[in-house]
Structure 1
Amino acid sequence: MTNPQKDHKIKYLLLGLLFDAVGMISFVIPWMGEFSDVVWAPLAGWLMTRMYKGKAGQIAGVVTFIEELVPGLDVIPSFTIMWLYTYVFNKSKNKTVGA
């Protein structure tokens, strides 16, 4: 049998890597740069708050929004960092993760 908790962690890691890659598109396709950031920034912030609930998710959503909107900061993998914070570094085991 599979472990639902482990499957959830892997799903969120893969989604986070995908979303971080989408956020870096402006570096790969320079002419799309600022336009893609303006569209992606609010969506990325919203996705972050849906993936990670509670205060941590809200803060991460705002940080992700700003990080995606400010030129040059797209290289920061905010979704992956939040996954690491939630599943690796956060020892309190609080319920900040959405369903």
Structure 2
Amino acid sequence: MEVKNKKLILGIVFDAIGMLSFTIPFVGEFSDVIWAPVSGFLMTRMYRSKLGRIAGIISFAEEFFPFSDFIPSFTLVWGYYYLIKKNTD
């Protein structure tokens, strides 16, 4: 399997994990305190460039702040990286 496809699958899985906090209203938002730094770290490892560092900060903030974790940041960054910038790896 291509790296591109692996990153897409991982990104969808990571976005799903981030959205799990919606399954337990209000209480689930506290789980984001744990997931936010993990999310930021994973983003920087998936995209090792300036984009990865910026996306890691955005992913951390998106998961950390309440009610904003519905944004599929990993999938959006994948789309930007592979479809808009047309990177290949």
Q: TM-score, normalised by structure 2?
A: 0.92
Within a 5 Å distance, the mapping from 1:14-93 to structure 2 comes to: 14-30=9-25, 32-91=27-86, 93=87
- What is the RMSD computed on CA atoms of the aligned residues? 1.6
1:44-74 deviation line (CA, Å, top 9, x unaligned): 0000000001110000000000000011111
How many residues align? The count is 89
CA distance in 1, matches of 2:79, 2:72: 11
Query: Identity percentage over the alignment?
Result: 55
Distance apart, 1:25 and its partner CA:
0.7
Large movers: runs of 4+ above 6 Å? none
Once structures 1 and 2 are overlaid, which stretch shifts more, 64-73 or 25-34? 25-34
Larger Rg: 1
Where structure 1 has 5 or more consecutive residues not aligned to the other structure, the ranges are: none
